[in-house]
Each structure stands twice: as structure tokens, then as C-alpha cells.
A and B are shown apart, each in its own frame.
Chain A
Amino acid sequence: MTTRQIHSSSTAPAVRPGSTPPAPPAPAAQPGLERRRWSGRSRKDFLVFLAMALPNLVLIGTFTYWPLINNIYYSTLDWTLGSASATVVGLQNYITFFTSEDAAKVLGTTAVFTLVTVGGSMVLGLLVALALNSKVPGTTFARSAVFAPYVLSGVGVGLVWLFIFDPGYGVLAWILRGLGQQSPQWINDPQLSLVMVIIVYVWKNLGYCAVVYLAGLQSLPRDVMEAAALDGANSVRRFFNVSLPLLSPTTFFLLITTMLSSLQAFDLIRIMTPLGNGTSTLIYEAYLQAFGAYNRAGYSAAISVILFAILLIITVLQLRFVERKVHYS
């Protein structure tokens, strides 16, 4: 370090003309004073904070962070579920996943499922919300009907839709036979299985997007809409140039929540395609590897960690970059 550097770092920072001078540095706290302060109001506040936060912290620690840490540890083992012993293999499970042919298949299926379900739910949800926002009779009933599938059990929904799609005696097959057509092999054909699950997932979740968008539409400032109308903007232009930008906080919120939810979708896939043939997303592959026929608990833990990392990256990216494009007022 040069003398000049030592000098500049030891002097007060330069103050530009017109700017507010920085506050003088606070005198160093004396140990006695600090103890007095700690024993006063701060201590009481801290105890209240502990009383309020500790139960939650203990629960989160026990049921979220502790399993997470355990899972990371398990991902370094070659462990057959049910076996009392395992071998430490370091990063081998990760290497195996990323170098296997399955990785591209699973990541591809995850990407297709997530993008189509998020896009489908949001676009259809917005269209439904626009329809429900109009002042026509029956909208109250329609709102309930649209939202109902979202609160239904995924298992029940999956079973009912399986019956609809069954190529042998399903409702869809019956309609197609009436039209002289054979039913596609929705359940056995891996590509069609993915389409089937996506259709059902979008159907189940678009009600959520519709209701959130509807709330957003109803809270849009009327004066802005009226001003746009007075300026001669037609309804399409008002939608794209005024409503949609003003709905960006809603869109941003839905983008995060539906994407996280799609990446964690499990129940419909489990019920409709138990083997995961063509529908094996990251989370379902993790389940199949550990609790399906393979019993590769360590490998499954590695896939779970990969999914966790992807969720974390997506959330951080969304918070950092997408939020900048959002108009909050």
C-alpha cells in the first residue's frame, strides 16, 4: 500500500459544493454504555421478538431447512432406499444425472410442461377474467364455476379426467366413435400422455389465474380508462395499451406463483400417469427414482437438489429482472 493511499484513506471524504455534508462519525460505544442499553428497552424488545419468532423459526428449521440439509447430504450417497447402509460418492449422482440420456428428456419434459401450463393458465385465465368482468347476467355463478376446479382435490380431478380420456370406454372415446373416429391412445402413448396431463392441469388452474386477474381488472383506475376512451382508443387498444400494462403487477405475481406451482406439480401426474411415461418432470422423476421401482434414494436426492436450485434461480431472476418491467402505479 502506498503512502498516498494511506493518507487518503485516513482523511475525511471530500464534500462536493452544494451537497449535504456527511454526519460526523458516531463516537465509539463504551462497553459500559452498551451493557446499560442492552439491559434496558432493547433486551425487552429482543425477548418479545424471540417469543414471537422462535416457534416459527423452530418449525421452519425442523420441517424445511433440516430436511433440505439432509437431502443435500443424501445426494452425496449411493443409497438404495430401505437399505441400512450407503456409500459416499460425492458428486457422482449429479454427474450421472447430467451425463445420462434421461437428463435431457426430464429437463425437456419439465420445460414443456411448465411453459405450456403457465402460459396456458395465464392467457386463458386473462381471457376468462375479461369475460367475467363484463356486466352480463350470470357472472356470479360463472365466477364460482370457473374457480371451483382449483379447490378440488387433484386426485379426484385426475381420476375423473382419466375416465374422460380412456380410449376404451371414456366419454371422449364415445363421442369420437359417434363421429366415426378412433380415440387416440391418451394413456399409453407418452407424447399424448403429456398433452393429456397439461390439458387437465390448465383446466384445474386457470380459475385461479382468472380470479386474480379479475381482481386486478376491477381495481384498474377508471379515470385512466375513461381518458383513453375520450381520446378515441378502441377497446382492443385500451386493453393492450392501458389495461395490460396496468395489470403488470398481477401478471408478475401470477408468473412467479404459477411457475413455482407448475414446477412442483405432482398429484395429477401421479394419478394419471403412474409410470411417468412421457410425463416425468423433475419432481416426478425424483419421486420415481426413490419411491418407484428403482429405489435410488441418493440419486433422487440429487435430482431434488437440482430442482431446488432451478426454483431458486428462477425466483431470483424474476425478482431481479422481471420486476423492473412492472408498473406499480
Chain B
Amino acid sequence: MRTNLDRRHFLGLAGLGAGAAALAACGGPSTAGTADAVDTATIDFTGVKPAASIDLWTNHPGKSQDVEKAIIEKFHAKFPDIKVNLVTAGANYEEIAQKFQTSQAAKTGLPGLVVLSDVWWFRYFSNGSIIPIDGLVKQLDIKIDDFQKSLVDDYKYDDKQWALPYGRSTPLFYYNKDHFKAAGLPDRAPATWQEFAEWAPKLKATSGAQYAYIYPALAGYAGWTLQNNLWGWGGSWSKDWDITCDSKESVAALQWAQDSIYKDGWAGVSSKEAADDFAAGITSSTISSTGSLLGVLKAATFNVGVGFLPGGPEVPSGVCPTGGAGLGIPSGISKEEQLAAATFLKFMTEPENTAAFSAATGYMPTRLSADMSAVLAATPQIKTAMDQLAATKVQDNARVFLPGADQEMAKAAAKILTQQGDVQATMTELKKTLEGIYTKDVKPKLKA
């Protein structure tokens, strides 16, 4: 086919292309060099009237849809002028984040209040997507001192409070009491992984389960729970901003984990959800979130025991990370909506509501003054999670502050735990990747 592209046609097409490109540049983000940071000086809610309606975006952590609805109904009774719409914004924290980031880019459809996980809130902060709530805390008299300090401090940066804790959890050690009894083991979680390594062959021999222990699903939050192993061996994903996943301690921890699968043969790796595998009787023990507790207790047909996470050869205790989600207020909505959202945020995190949320899910109560007596009488296992809070440790920066680090950690864990990859080489490669993410995506946004 012959095309007659003469000078006039060519110039016309070039003009059309340039025009289209110029028009395209009118949409999307600003390239004028404006900063993302929220102008906190302008956040003053004096004289602002709360909006009549806001959306709450949640993934119903710990199957909490019913209790969330109940709390909202109570709120409507107390504040009839503010309507809260419960929106299922995803099946997990990542799906909520996807919806939230997309709405942020489209500059439309943002909620009043959004569930943000431990690995997402900092990104929202650095993108200027959420506001600091200090002014609202003061104006609405939110009792910040009554929150569990370690949980509320997780959302502090640059001397400002960026969110409040909501569905907060720690990993718990779940064990099948019947299997432990049949193996002649004590009715408790192992104090250290070395102790469990002695128990595991007996468990495997007597329980009839496929595994004595199953590692949490790698596609879930492997980077979160594996911190327990790393810390127990004296290693970590990072120390402050130094990536230390390739240190000899970190490599030793993951080598031990690999050996438990390939050399010793008593451990496996969950494909979807370790708590479900445990409740189905596939394994005698696992580590999963406290948010899975009520679900496991309902689904299991055996006696369920829970305990603190085991320590390691170097650090025998205090090797449990905090986790879970908080609630934040977007910057891209009106002040009226922000005030209405803060009013609901205050109500949602009040002692009786955090106790109700905890009773329904197994997540930890976030308020010190929450009356948990009735909850603990019904589900005494929650007490273990509450007690363990005193032995928790703030997560490694690399996991919670580096975008995509959790995915990279999961891929590295998959290589080690399902393909028997060389641990040192895999961790060296991971370090290179994490340092690249830090240099490109985080370092330029950090306060000097």
C-alpha cells in the first residue's frame, strides 16, 4: 500500500501529536516542582461545621463487618447529623491502598476516613495524602494519653500524629493442644525455636498432621512474621536505614528456617493463609495475627492454645513485632468532611468501642481504659495477645517504610523456603534491591 505523506500531511500530523501531548500534560500530576507535603499551617477547624455524610473505607479486618456496622449505628444514634457510609474498599490492606491511591490520583471519590496498614501510612504521609490530626485531637478532646503508647506512637512522624490505631495486632503462636498432649509435650508455646526443634519430631510422629509447624503464606506478610526469626538470631531486615538482611545473624536465622523444611522435614509453608491451614488440622502449630484468633476458635474442631512468639538463640524474648492497621483522614477532602471524619474517629476508638471490636475479632484493645473483663471471660486467649504487647518491638524500617519491600522480602523468602535457594546469595540480592528502593523512593523525602 502506498501512502501519500506529503509535507502538509506530515506537518498536520505532527501538529496533532504535539497538541495531544500538550493536552495530556494538562491532566495528571503537576510537574511544576510543587512539594507533596500537606500545609499543616492551614489546618484550622475553628468555625467549621461537620459534613452531613462521610465514607469509611475498610477491609473489615478480622471479619469485623458486623461490629463495624454496630458501632456506626451507635454513632448515628449519638450524632444524627453525621451519616457514616460503611464501604468495603478491598479484601485486604493492599486493595484499599490501591483504591485510595487511584482516587488520590483522580482527585475524586475520596473517603472521610480510611484504614491504613503499618506499611502504607508512611507512604500516604510522604505523598501528602493524609493530614496530621493534632489540631483535631485538641479540638475534639481525643484522649491520646489513654491509647496504648506503643500503638499510637507508630503513627508519629515529624512531631505530628498522622493516624490513630484501629485494628492493631501482633503475631501469636497458635498450637493444637490435642496434638501437643498426644506427643507428651507441655501445654504451652515453646520458649525458643530451639526448644520447638526438639518437640517437632515428636509432634510430627504422633499428630498425623502434615507438618509440626507451618510458616505463614509468603504472599501474605512474610516480611512481618519472619522478623521474629531474624530478631531471635540477632539479625533484622534493617537497623534504622541500614539494610542488614545479609548479616551473618540474619542469614543464620533464615538458614535455620530453610533447614526446618528441607533438612529436618517437620515444617512447611502455607500457600494461602496459615491460620486456615492450622484450623483445618494440616499443621500442629503456626504463627498468625491476633486478628485471626476469633476465626480460628470458631473454625477449629480441636482445643486451640496460644502463646508468645518463641525467642531465638541470641535473643530469647521480646522478639514480637507490632502490626495491623490504623485510621487516617485524607487531605483531599473538605474541612467539613475532615471534621466529621475526626468526630467519628474519636467515637470509633472510644474505650467501649475498641473493647467491642476486640471481642469480635481478637485484635488488641487500643485504649488503656477499655474494660475487657467481659471480653476476656468469653475469650481468655485474647489476654495472651494483650500481655504480649509489653514484649513487642517496633518493626524494622525496611519493612514498613520502603515501598514494595514487603513484596521483595516475600519473593526472597519464597526462594529460600520453597526453592531451597542459597540463603546468603538471596539476602545479598535482597539488600541490593532494598537499598535501591531506599535511595530512589524514600531518602529524597526524608526530613534532613
> Are the CB atoms of A88 and B28 closer together than 8 Å?
no
> Are the CB atoms of A294 and B403 closer together than 8 Å?
yes
Most chain A Cβ neighbours within 10 Å, of B100, B128, B403, B406: B403
> Are the CB atoms of A274 and B280 closer together than 8 Å?
no
Main secondary structure of the interface of A (DSSP, over half): loop
Interface status of B113 (Cβ within 8 A of chain A): no
- A86 interface neighbour in B31, B210, B282, B441, Cβ under 8 Å: B31
> Are the CB atoms of A84 and B101 closer together than 8 Å?
no
Interface status of A77 (Cβ within 8 A of chain B): yes
Given that A82-B124, A275-B411, A292-B94 are contacting pairs, would A297 and B403 also be in contact in the complex, using a CB cutoff of 8 Å? no
- A70 interface neighbour in B27, B30, B441, Cβ under 8 Å: B27
Interface status of B397 (Cβ within 8 A of chain A): no
> Are the CB atoms of B271 and A85 closer together than 8 Å?
no
**Chain A: interface residue total (CB-CB under 8 A):** 39
Q: Which residues of A contact B100 (CB under 8 A)?
A: 82
> Are the CB atoms of B271 and A84 closer together than 8 Å?
no
Q: Which among B32-40, B245-253, B299-307, B313-321 touches the partner chain?
A: B32-40
Q: Which residue of B lies closest to A80 (CB)?
A: B127
Interface status of A73 (Cβ within 8 A of chain B): yes
> Are the CB atoms of B30 and A85 closer together than 8 Å?
yes
Q: Which residue of A lies closest to B282 (CB)?
A: A168
Q: Which residues of B contact A273 (CB under 8 A)?
A: 219
> Are the CB atoms of A188 and B269 closer together than 8 Å?
yes
- B414 interface neighbour in A85, A87, A190, Cβ under 8 Å: A190
> Are the CB atoms of A82 and B419 closer together than 8 Å?
no
Q: Which residue of A lies closest to B101 (CB)?
A: A82
**Chain B: interface residue total (CB-CB under 8 A):** 54
Bound-state Cα–Cα, A88 to B98, Å = 23
> Are the CB atoms of B406 and A293 closer together than 8 Å?
yes
Q: Which among B17-25, B44-52, B353-361, B388-396 touches the partner chain?
A: B17-25
Most chain A Cβ neighbours within 10 Å, of B28, B104, B123: B28
Given that A73-B24, A81-B102, A291-B101 are contacting pairs, would A188 and B418 also be in contact in the complex, using a CB cutoff of 8 Å? yes
Bound-state Cα–Cα, A288 to B97, Å = 13
Interface status of B368 (Cβ within 8 A of chain A): no
Bound-state Cα–Cα, A74 to B35, Å = 18
Q: Which 4 A-B pairs have the closest CB atoms?
A: A82-B101, A73-B24, A86-B29, A187-B271
Q: Chain B residues in contact with chain A, CB under 8 A?
A: 20-21, 23-25, 27-36, 94, 98, 100-102, 104-105, 119, 123-124, 127-129, 210, 214, 217-219, 268-272, 277, 280, 282, 403-407, 410-411, 414-415, 417-419, 441
Q: List 19 A-B contacts (CB under 8 A).
A: A72-B24, A73-B21, A82-B105, A82-B123, A83-B29, A87-B31, A166-B272, A167-B268, A169-B280, A185-B418, A186-B271, A187-B271, A188-B414, A191-B419, A277-B218, A277-B411, A293-B403, A293-B404, A293-B406
Known: A85-B30, A291-B98. 19 other contacts (CB 8 A): A69-B20, A70-B24, A82-B123, A83-B36, A84-B104, A85-B31, A85-B33, A85-B35, A168-B271, A168-B282, A185-B271, A188-B271, A190-B419, A191-B419, A275-B407, A277-B218, A293-B406, A295-B123, A297-B105
